[in-house]
Amino acid sequence: MRVLFVYPNLNTQMGFNQGLAMISAFLKRAGHETRLVNLNENLPPVPTREQIFAEIREWNPGVLAASTLSQQYAEARELVTWLRGRYEELGETPPVFVVGGVHPSMVPEQVMADGVWDHVAVGECEDAMLDLVERIEGGDAAQIASCENFLSWKGNARPALAEERVQGSWQRNPVRPFPNISIMPMADYELFDTQRILDSKNGWAGLITSRGCPYRCTYCLNHEVIDTYRADLKAPVRELNFFRFRHPEEVLEEMRFLLKRYERVNTFIMDDDLFTQNVEHALSFCEAYEKSGIGVPFVVNAHVKQLDERVAFALKKAGCTILKMGIESGSPRVRKEILQRPMSDNDIFETVRLAESAGLHSSGFVMVGLPGETHDERWETIDLLARLEIGRFRSSMFYPFPGTGAFKLSVDGGYIDPEKVERLTDFTESSCLDFGAAENLFIDKLAVCMPWFVNARLAAARGVDPATLPASARYAPLVERVLEMDAEEWQTYKLQVREIDAYTAAAAAAAGEVHYAIKFNAFMGVRDDYYLAEERAAERVDDWVTAAAPPV
Ligand code: B12
Ligand code: SF4
């Protein structure tokens, strides 16, 4: 059968979709044909709806399958609603419409209630999608409607009237066990315009060596995923085999393929939720990678509660450059009570120090605008970053993903702004929570200028006079000015923040001051030693900065 995938990835970060690439590999291995409509403004030309419709009619797939995260879902639903309308106008039968991915997995009943899909997928679907496609080919309605991992209309008959497409008219079939990722075919990179994606991501290629995570942070998908599998399979967590690993040799084979098939791959991003969690897996991968001689730098994710010293040094030896970890908030209360992410300040300090002593560049994620967080607790995040002096940090606006515990906290606390919640496609741009005008303004300022706030607090964090730490003296007046601005003045000023940051950071660098600059994207604060070394390596640094900056 022919399956046309749609990835509605507009106005958000560009990304290769591993999930679709894996499903496509499974389908192709079984002899089916696949194609992709990848909607992203960075991959022009973006086809219009009419062009997509024309492609469907020309290629004539049996199934149209969309993959969506939460912020991509509205686009997918609107496209399929429109396609259904066009088929109706022509009196033709449309393909079978299926949707899967993180959003449908988190709120499947809500997605089914939209009434536009024939099947809504829950969980990891490599085997499940193949099974569904083959049942559709078989044509037996009862078989199709009862396929595991899907919500389907009873008798495979989507009611003709919208008012009949309600709870009770569909069945929710249980999920099947998690697929065994150690025996899977390689992701289908040919499905995507992979060379163009790699080029637009500066040669950074994402790979996965494990799936799953043992934690249950309220803002992440994993607690809901595991609860769904536990309920459906009626088994305790330890029997579900959620946290799974690929054999290092399989990952190396995929890396070699990427290097041979595509040009300019210069960094591998290991997109595992937590690469360092299983010490044995991490050590065996590092050893195999080092022996392989592939030698391309790579970056990994870690939890601050789990970085074994042997792993830290093995990572460095194997070529890992950056260790990324979730810090999320500077307040231990917020981490424990709101995020369900109990970790002490000490855990954070020890892990960052260990990473840096092993020679890894440390990188932390923090969130601003959390529900239930006080104004002072927001300052705790700034102060923790200033005390930590981590290599870099990325601050994101908190976005409550439907189906998560944090979404419920946001609704129960009365924080959700219903107008904004559907509209946002990229949650770094603004918050969909409402904390009142004054606090909303403060949060927006934090999100845009977090590195300035951190720089201003560096001296206090070290307990020294700002005069002895000039970066604080340099940035403190900027922060004071930002804090004094009302909403109107801020709206104009914020557009100039990158520019002001560029020249302020250049002056701080010329004077040899420890500081963070906004680099790589609008939400990343990078410590001077790292970005200057990188700029020097790329010979991009201005002459006058090179002359005045201290040796790295
Ligand atoms: C790698 C990754 C990225 C990469 C690549 C993203 C990509 N599109 O693949 C990068 C760094 C670019 C990225 C960016 C972002 N990410 Co991200 N990312 C991940 C991560 C860590 C792994 C995703 C992955 O590859 N999983 C492995 C594959 C095999 O699983 P999968 O994609 O879910 O697919 C399976 C099922 O979902 C299902 N399925 C998927 N599609 C379909 C379609 C059909 C028809 C069917 C039947 C089944 C099906 O079957 C697949 C195979 O098993 C996840 C966390 C996680 N554990 O999932 C977060 C995650 C997906 N990211 C998230 C977010 C929020 C983002 C950003 C918005 C962050 C930001 N502020 O910019 C951007 C959005 C960019 C974008 N447009 O995709 C959230 C999404 C939450 C939500 N409810 O939508 C997640 C879940 C993390 C979290 N906070 O919980 N991300
Ligand atoms: S540790 Fe990371 S991947 Fe695991 S549940 Fe928490 S946020 Fe999700």
Q: Give the position of tokens 């163009």.
A: 196
The mean pLDDT value for 153-175 works out to 96
How does the average pLDDT of the chain come out, rounded?
Answer: 94
- Confidence at residue 541, expressed as pLDDT on a 0 to 100 scale: 45
Q: What DSSP letter does each residue of 416-467 carry, written as one string?
A: B-HHHHHH-S-TTT--SB---HHHHHHHHHHHHHHHHHHHHHHHHHHTS-GG
Q: How far apart (Å, rounded) are the C-alpha atoms in residues 281 and 277? A: 8
Whether 20 lines ligand 1, by a CB cut-off of 6 Å, is yes
Q: Which of 220, 329, 343 to mutate to test the pocket of ligand 2 (most atoms within 8 A of CB)?
A: 220
Q: Find the 45 Cα to ligand 2 centroid distance in Å.
A: 36
Mutate to test the pocket of ligand 2, among 217, 270, 278 (most ligand atoms within 8 A of CB): 217
Task: Please determine, for residue 321, whether its predicted confidence score (pLDDT) is greater than 50.
Answer: yes
* Least confident interval from 333-342, 396-405, 464-473: 464-473
pLDDT of 543: 43
Ligand 2 atom, smallest distance to 214 CA? 4
Q: Could you tell me the pLDDT band of residue 15, with boundaries at 50, 70 and 90?
A: confident
Q: How confident is the model at residue 424, as a pLDDT?
A: 67
pLDDT in tens, 475-519: 999 999 999 999 999 999 999 999 999 999 999 999 999 999 999
The whole-number pLDDT of residue 478 equals 97
Domain boundaries, the chain: 2-182, 202-435
Q: Is the pLDDT of residue 551 over 90?
A: no
Distance 9 CA to ligand 1 centre (A): 11
Residue type at 92 in one-letter notation: E
Laid out side by side, the sheet with 96-100 consists of: 33-39, 2-8, 63-67, 96-100, 119-121, 150-153, 170-172
Torsion of CA 384, 386, 390, 392, to 10 degrees: 110
Question: Does 298 have pLDDT greater than 60?
Answer: yes
Does pLDDT of 544 surpass 80?
no
Answer whether 13 contacts ligand 1 (Cβ < 6 A).
yes
Confidence check: pLDDT of 251 > 90: yes
pLDDT digit string, tens, across residues 461-477: 999 988 888 899 999 99
* Ligand 1 within 6 A of CB of 470: no
Using the structure block, give the residue that is written with the tokens 């201290």: 550
Q: Is 396 in the pocket of ligand 1 (CB under 6 A)?
A: yes
Give the pLDDT confidence score for residue 545 in this predicted structure.
41
Q: How far apart are CA 469 and CA 475, in angstroms?
A: 11
Sign of the four-CA dihedral 28, 202, 297, 262: positive
Lowest mean pLDDT among 176-180, 375-379, 496-500, 543-547: 543-547
Determine the pLDDT at residue 425.
64
pTM of this prediction?
A: 0.95
Q: Which atom of ligand 2 is nearest to the CA of 301?
A: 2
Exposure on the CB side of residue 421, measured as CA atoms within 13 A: 12
d(CA 132, CA 413): 40
> Is the pLDDT reported for residue 116 higher than 90?
yes
Question: Is the predicted pLDDT of residue 335 greater than 80, yes or no?
Answer: yes
Can you tell me the mean pLDDT for 50-61? 97
Ligand 2 centroid from CA 37, angstroms: 30
Distance, in Å, from the CA atom of 122 to the CA atom of 172, rounded to the nearest integer, reads 9
Q: How confident is the model at residue 548 (pLDDT cuts 50, 70, 90)?
A: very low
Fold observed for domain 202-435: TIM Barrel (3.20.20)
What is the Cα–Cα distance from 421 to 431, expressed in whole angstroms?
Answer: 8
Q: Which protein residues are within 6 Å of ligand 2, measured from CB?
A: 213, 215-217, 220, 222, 273-274, 303, 326
Mean pLDDT across 172-196? 96
pLDDT in tens, 349-368: 999 999 999 999 999 999 99
Number of H helices and number of E strands within the chain? 23, 17
How are beta strands 150-153 and 170-172 bridged, if at all? antiparallel
Does the beta carbon of 271 sit less than 6 angstroms from any atom of ligand 1? yes
Across the range 413-438, mean pLDDT stands at 79
Over range 390-398, report the average pLDDT. Answer: 96
- The predicted pLDDT at position 428 comes to 63
Q: Is the CB of 428 under 6 A from ligand 1?
A: yes
pLDDT above 70 covers a percentage of the chain that reads: 96
Using an 8 Å Cβ cutoff, are 41 and 9 in contact?
no
CA of 212 to the centre of ligand 2 (A): 9
- Both tokens of 254, joined, read 């995929």
* pLDDT at residue 510, rounded to an integer: 94
What does the alpha-carbon distance between residue 375 and residue 90 come to, in Å, rounded to a whole number?
57
481 compared with 71, residue with greater pLDDT: 481
Determine the atom of ligand 1 nearest the C-alpha atom of 404. 83
429 pLDDT above the threshold of 80? no
Start-end of H helices in 33-120 = 49-59, 70-90, 102-106, 108-113
Instruction: Please state the rounded mean pLDDT for residues 152-177.
Output: 97
31 pLDDT exceeds 80? yes
CATH, domain range 2-182: 3.40.50.280
Nearest partner of 340 among 413, 409, 427, judged by Cα: 409
- Report pLDDT for 549: 38
| 353-392: burial string, b at 16+ Cβ within 10 Å, e else | ebbbebebbbbbebbbbbbbbeeebbbbbbbbbbbbbbbb
